[in-house]
Amino acid sequence: MRKVLLLAIFLLIGTSSYAQTWVNDTKTLFDKNQAVVLTINVRTFAAIDNNRNGIIEPSKGEVKGNFVNAISRLDEISSLGINTLHLLPINTVGVKRAYGTAGSLFAVKNITEIDPMLKSSNSISGTNLEVKNFVDACHKRNIRVIVEMPAYGAYDLYIKKSRWFLKNNNRTSVLLPNQRDIRVFNAGTNSNLNKEVYDIYEKYIDMLLSLNVDGVVVQDPFLKPPKFWQNLISHANERNQQFVFIAEMKQSTKRLPAKGVPFVSLKKLLNVGFDAYLGDFNKFQSVKTGKDFNKNLTKSLKYSTKKENAKAVLADFAMYNDVAPILVEDIYLSKMIIWLSSTLPVNSIYTDGFQTGDDYSFDLANMKAPKSYTDDKFFFANRGKMDIYNFSRRPKGSYPELLTELKAGNKFKAYMANYMPYAELEILKTEYPDVFAYALTDRINKMTVFVLGSFDLENIKNVEIEIPKMTKKTVIENVHSYAIPQASRGKFNTLLAPADIQVFLVKNFALK
């Protein structure tokens, strides 16, 4: 039997619409777990690769991604239920000791300048105006824009402003393992901030605010003292109280393996004003038991479930720096990630290309390049991860069915936000160690969503779950499942296929 996705109920939720006047509500969106984020690399987002060799060659009429052609994809993104774009760093990058033919997005040469390589060759507008036009086009479609705030400076910047960076006792720059292109900023201490470094970050925030950007995702925030962030967040919020600060850090984040590099705990950062953080959901890719799933879930939600000063959490199942899920467990893992992200009390985040199952492979990866914009003569790339080092193709995979899945999952997430705003998470017990189950129950509106999943890749499971107050007359609506669940007194049964995830909705019913 084909699954029924409650189209009659929530078909119109999450569809494209055009805002007349934009009012930033990003912080509120995250606080309510309603953000559906897509991480993009502007270099590749709408790139045109005519000969399909994976590399953009302007001399052959091909076009690099830029802020002008990026607008052409916004209707597509909005139609998927994406309401927030996360832009990887858009600053000018370094070209010395670089990785790849365009240089790493995270090796920043000028933190207060938009990369001129992101400017359209067909536009007479300045780069900043192109960015602002792009942001405004997003806002017209009710898409928020948050930008990655880089933590490191390029070697090029270190040569010019060495006093801005950490140094060893022998006065040489601090190097991170296997990194030749970046240096660590010296932000000072809580009692003695490095004013020069702080000032450039404040100017960076001012630049983003002038472009109508809605917030930032902060790379490795643990490198700078709490006072640094407290001052910067206060500065931004004085101009825009909804400007969101997201710590790209999780509870399990450890100190970088380099001598002299500072480290601040996530708890301290959240206490000084960060609005959101990453869970530990990427560990889910290696989880094989319901017990470990529940343990990981509880840990990931630790700071989001507090009664006071709760923080938003992002479901980082597969970020831009993780291996593509399609390579880990084929399409099954991607589908499971969609429905977990859509039903758990989290903000969803995906990487451009996930929606079609891109494996981020490039035929020319790590081969010598005929042309380079840096001193690296090779197409440096990390297999299975989004390319952040070259002017490469637009992310696109060969699993179009994921588009339908993602759209359905995002619509159901919007449905829950509208009709079950007070839903609380309840972990359920099952008789199988490799099966997990949980419920979202709204006791005020008397609605419950049940979610079950199997880590078993080979066997069908007849799962029975005890649910007090359930009877034969209980109507279980099928949101995402090929199986037909059976309700009976105090329990219900369903058949879970290998690597399956199922979602059911029960109206006029709430768990005790």
Q: What is the pLDDT of residue 18?
A: 62
- Domain termination residue (choose one: 377, 398, 419): 419
Instruction: Answer yes or no: is 207 within a domain.
Output: yes
Cα 42 from Cα 45, distance rounded (Å): 5
Q: What is the pLDDT of residue 20?
A: 64
Are 77 and 166 in the same domain? yes
Q: Which amino acid is at 205?
A: I
Contact status, residue 177 vs residue 202, Cβ threshold 8 Å: no
Q: What is the pLDDT of residue 73?
A: 97
Are 66 and 184 in the same domain? yes
Q: What is the pLDDT of residue 10?
A: 46
Cα 26 from Cα 313, distance rounded (Å): 14
Q: What is the pLDDT of residue 14?
A: 44
| DSSP secondary structure string for all residues of 212-241 | T--EEEEESGGGS-HHHHHHHHHHHHHH-T
Are 368 and 429 in the same domain? no
Cα 329 from Cα 388, distance rounded (Å): 24
- Domain termination residue (choose one: 419, 434, 451): 419
- H or E, element range at 406: helix 401-419
Cα 153 from Cα 140, distance rounded (Å): 34
Are 224 and 295 in the same domain? yes
Are 434 and 496 in the same domain? yes
Are 412 and 500 in the same domain? no
Are 184 and 246 in the same domain? yes
Q: Which domain holds residue 415?
A: 7-419
Instruction: Answer yes or no: is 347 within a domain.
Output: yes
Cα 226 from Cα 229, distance rounded (Å): 5
Contact status, residue 504 vs residue 441, Cβ threshold 8 Å: no
C-alpha 298: how far from chain center: 20
- Domain termination residue (choose one: 419, 435, 457): 419
Are 38 and 169 in the same domain? yes
Of 82, 54, 66, the residue nearest 351 (C-alpha): 82
Would you say how long the chain is, in residues?
512
Q: What is the pLDDT of residue 384?
A: 94
CATH of the domain at 139: 3.20.20.80
Cα 12 from Cα 8, distance rounded (Å): 9
Instruction: Answer yes or no: is 328 within a domain.
Output: yes
Structure tokens at 154: 């390029």
Cα 335 from Cα 407, distance rounded (Å): 11
Are 191 and 249 in the same domain? yes
Of 152, 163, 155, the residue nearest 188 (C-alpha): 163
Q: How many domains does the chain have?
A: 2
Are 145 and 290 in the same domain? yes
Contact status, residue 131 vs residue 42, Cβ threshold 8 Å: no
Instruction: Answer yes or no: is 187 within a domain.
Output: yes
Instruction: Answer yes or no: is 512 within a domain.
Output: no
Structure tokens at 324: 């593509």
Per-residue pLDDT of the chain (512 residues; tens, 9 = 90+): 444 444 444 444 444 456 568 999 999 999 999 999 999 999 999 999 999 999 999 999 999 999 999 999 999 999 999 999 999 999 999 999 999 999 999 999 999 999 999 999 888 889 999 999 999 999 999 999 999 999 999 999 999 999 999 998 778 888 898 899 999 999 999 999 999 999 999 999 999 999 999 999 999 999 999 999 999 999 999 999 999 999 999 999 999 988 889 999 999 999 999 999 999 999 888 899 999 999 999 999 999 988 788 999 999 999 999 999 999 988 999 999 999 999 999 999 999 999 999 999 999 999 999 999 999 999 999 999 999 999 999 999 999 999 999 999 999 999 999 999 999 999 999 999 999 999 999 999 999 999 999 999 999 999 999 999 899 999 999 999 999 999 999 999 999 999 999 999 999 999 98
Structure tokens at 188: 């000072």
C-alpha dist (Å) from residue 196 to 92, 186, 199, 280, 420: 19, 10, 5, 34, 48
| DSSP secondary structure string for all residues of 254-314 | ---SSTT-----HHHHHHTT--EEE-SGGGGGG--SHHHHHHHHHHHTTTTS-SSS--EEE
Instruction: Answer yes or no: is 13 within a domain.
Output: yes
Radius of gyration of the chain (CA): 23
Are 161 and 70 in the same domain? yes
Of 387, 325, 329, 391, the residue nearest 356 (C-alpha): 325
Cα 353 from Cα 29, distance rounded (Å): 24
Angle, in degrees to the nearest 10, between helices 325-343 and 401-419? 20
Instruction: Answer yes or no: is 1 within a domain.
Output: no
**Structure-derived torsion over alpha carbons of residues 164, 165, 169, 173, reported in degrees to the nearest 10:** -130
Cα 197 from Cα 185, distance rounded (Å): 7
Are 82 and 104 in the same domain? yes
CATH of the domain at 487: 2.60.40.1180
